[in-house]
Amino acid sequence: MSQVIQPTIGLSTPSPRVRRLTWQQVLGKIASVVLIGLLTVYILGPLLVLLIWAFAKEWFYPALLPQAWTLSWWQTIFSTGNFGHSILLSFLIAPVVTLATAAICFPAAYGFSRYRFRGRWTMLISIFAINSFPKMGIYITLAGFFYGLHLIGTFPGVVIVQMLGTIVTATWIPTAAFSAVPRELEEASRDAGAGAIRTFMRVTLPSAKPGLIIALILTFLSSLDEAQGTFIVGAPYYQTMPVVMYGLVNGYPEQAAAVFSVLLTLPSLILLLFVRKYIIGGAFASAFRLH
Amino acid sequence: MRKGDLGMKNRPWTGFLLTALPVAFLIIFVGVPMVGALLYSLGDAGGINSAISQIGLDQVISHHGLTLKVYSGLIRTPAFVEDLIATIWVTIACVALIVVISWAIALYMRFATGFGARILSVLYVVPMFIPVVISSYALVSFWNDGGFVAAVMSHLGFPNFPSPGYTLVGIIIAQVWASLPFAALMLSSGLKGIPDSQIEAARDIGASGISLVWRVLVPQNMLSTIIVITFSTIGILGSFTIPYLTGPNAPQMLGVAMYSYFSTYNEPQQSQAMAILLFLLSMGIGYFYVRANVRADRKGSLAR
């Protein structure tokens, strides 16, 4: 029988019809159940407890559930001016960042995928290399520079600092998307008499669309969730949702921060569910390697 | 257009102009400020640094040539040295844990088929869906004194459980949490690329368990592993939100210290000198990251 099951560390191979578990396999099964259980508590535990806090009226240590429940903290958040303001601000900045990023990155992605030119490789690497500088270092040096340009505490300053976090992904994913469009299709269109622009609009763009949409969504989310750059460059006027969160953690009761957290997580959760299968399918990983 | 070039057009200026936009953006808003910060940290207060040097306190300004006084001043500050050491050991501990845990997840996902694998495949991506500010807050209140873990522990008969909230260990718990999706995605997409036939062949000649992993899977998945190691190292070295919200007041990680010097103490020169030190630390690591990618791409499409 060539299908002998090798006892492996917690890994099970698809078993043949006769299931005769060795004691190692039983141990492995138990170990993997325990480990997955621990990982589940580690990953989901904090989020669940935070969600419960958003509806808690009284929750005293060491009770495992709140003693009394309430919805009043939701009203507090919506009726307190600076929270509402920060939500508006976040949803005002994110589309601007997304459009500006697309405007400079998408043409570049097309350029990288279609043209060969001197310096192409250097330019690819230099965009890529931004991943190898710690963000906080970049923001601190940028803040010094922005003092000189009077961009501290301004709208353009916030947009620029957020764009630094979006450029790599928004160039890479579309580059891969444009590269994947079959050239034969474009050539066929040209042969049929369509011009360059018409071919681009009718053939290239529609084929690359899924990749471009993923890039747009990831850019939008990155802007919505960006905290530290905005915290440094936007202060004190541009307090987006994540920036307000820094202050909430200290100055407010647990429940207020919990409600705000749920509100801030919802858009990310909804948008990411859309792109989940692409992310797991490798589109996200591809933003970190030259492909 | 040359044949056999996958239809790449040979129009140098069009390509250059299209791709120049993001590169120019990065040169202006990353490159120039970096050079400015380097000069400022070496005592030069002219040019783009004249505005910031008007408001900074405790500055070293050299009118003739450059000086290393800011750096020597930092090294003589015990608090900074403690911060630097804490940053380095937290980073090493985090990266080691991330690599081990995400390899385990990736291996399990590659070979297991049952219910466990299905749960895991949803579970490990969850942190990616949560903004870092939120997860830091959720984790620190979960693990804190008087938090949920402490409550469970006291019910289990350990009322004096040493809660890791607001300690360096707390930072590690949160960093690993936030880094798992990226690391495990990277590694498992690498493992998926190793054909079954190769694994079967190794099994046929008697490789099993650890030796299969060590002799076949690890070497085959080296690029992904290097990307995970370098990228998490860089990310954690310069992290701000997680240590700011989950860490102790002292020692601080460099990201937090930079912010404190910049805003709280109003000493931008020291802060920017720290940023330069951070860049130097990560440049060594970044070199491996880019090189590993370039090497792997020799066969890839974009190198052509």
Domain check: are A12 and A120 in the same one?
Answer: no
If asked whether residues A127 and A29 sit together in one domain, one would say no
Pair (A132, A241) in one structural domain:
yes
Distance (Å, rounded) from C-alpha B206 to C-alpha A7?
Answer: 12
The segments of chain A whose pLDDT lies below 50 read 1-12, 15, 291
Cα–Cα distance, B303 to B16 (Å, whole number)? 16
Tell me what pLDDT residue B261 has. 94
> Which CATH number is A143's domain given?
1.10.3720.10
Query: Residue A120: its chain B contacts at CB < 8 A?
Result: 15, 19
Same domain, A263 and A160: yes
Domain encompassing residue A114: 74-286
Please name which of B265, B278, B270 lies closest in space to residue B70, comparing C-alpha atoms: B270
The answer to whether the beta carbons of residues A289 and A168 sit under 8 Å apart is no
| Token reading at A4 | 């002998």
Tracing tokens 């783009």 back to the chain, one arrives at B48
Nearest chain B residue (CA) to A10? B108
* Nearest neighbour of B51 by CB, restricted to A126, A148, A242: A148
**Domain assignment present for A117:** yes
Regarding whether A226 and A108 lie in a shared domain, the answer is yes
Question: How big is the A-B interface in CB pairs under 8 Å?
Answer: 348
Any domain includes A69: no
* Tally of domains within chain A: 2
pTM for the whole structure:
0.86
Q: According to the model, what pLDDT value does residue A267 have?
A: 85
Contact residues on chain A for B169, CB-CB shorter than 8 A: none
Mean pLDDT, rounded, for B164-176:
95
- Exposed, middle or buried by CB within 10 Å (0-12, 13-18, 19+), for B136? buried
B208 Rama class: left (phi>0) / alpha (psi -120 to 50) / beta: beta
Q: What whole-number distance in Å separates Cα of residue A196 and Cα of residue A203? A: 10
Q: What tokens were used for B213?
A: 């992993």
- The verdict on a CB contact (< 8 Å) between A50 and B7 is no
Q: From CA A76, how far away is CA A98, in angstroms rounded?
A: 31
Q: Residues A126, A38: one domain?
A: no
Going along chain B from its start, the domains and CATH numbers come out as: 1-69 (no CATH), 77-299 (1.10.3720.10)
Residues B126-145 have pLDDT tens digits of 898 889 999 999 999 999 98
Q: Using CA atoms, how far apart are residues B258 and A91, in angstroms rounded to an integer?
A: 29
Q: Which amino acid would we find at residue A108?
A: A
> Would you call A284 an interface residue with chain B, using a CB distance cutoff of 8 Å?
yes
Q: Is A288 part of the contact surface with chain B (CB cutoff 8 Å)? A: yes
Residue A32 lies in a domain: yes
Chain A residues with CB under 8 Å of B95 CB are none
Domain-embedded: residue A291: no
In this structure, is residue A65 part of a structural domain? no
Q: What pLDDT score was predicted for residue B25?
A: 95
A44·B123 Cβ contact <8 A: yes
Q: Does residue A163 share a domain with residue A131?
A: yes
DSSP sequence for B98-136: HHHHHHHHHHHHHH--SHHHHHHHHHTTGGGGS-HHHHH
At B41-64, the pLDDT tens digits run 999 888 888 888 888 888 888 888
Average pLDDT (B56-83) is: 90
Check whether residue A48 and residue A171 sit in a common domain: no
ipTM: 0.88
A159 and A124 in a common domain: yes
pLDDT tens figures, A22-78: 888 888 888 888 999 999 999 999 999 999 999 998 898 888 999 999 998 888 888
Look at residue A2 in the predicted model and tell me its pLDDT: 42
Torsion of CA B131, A274, A113, A129, to 10 degrees: 10
Q: A66 lies in a domain?
A: no
In a domain, A126, yes or no: yes
B-contacting residues in A 146-185 (Cβ below 8 Å): 147-148, 160, 163-164, 167, 171, 175, 179, 183
pLDDT at B103: 94
On whether residue A231 sits in a domain, the answer given is yes
Alpha helices in A153-240 (DSSP H): 155-163, 167-179, 183-191, 196-199, 205-225, 228-233
Question: Does residue A30 belong to the interface with chain B, where contact is any CB pair within 8 Å?
Answer: no
Q: How confident is the model at residue B148 (pLDDT cuts 50, 70, 90)?
A: very high
Q: Provide the pLDDT for residue B3.
A: 38
pLDDT at B195: 85
- Is the C-alpha dihedral spanning B208, B211, B215, B217 positive or negative? positive
State whether A36 and A180 are in the same domain.
no
Give the per-residue pLDDT at B55: 82
Q: Are residues A116 and A12 in the same domain?
A: no
pLDDT digits (tens, 9 = 90+) for B222-280: 888 988 998 899 999 989 999 999 999 989 999 999 999 998 899 999 999 999 999 99
Which of B148, B175, B233 would you mutate first to test chain A, the one with the most A CBs within 10 A?
Answer: B148
Q: Do A144 and B37 touch (CB under 8 A)?
A: yes
User: Are A87 and A228 members of one domain?
Assistant: yes
A99 touches chain B (CB under 8 A): no
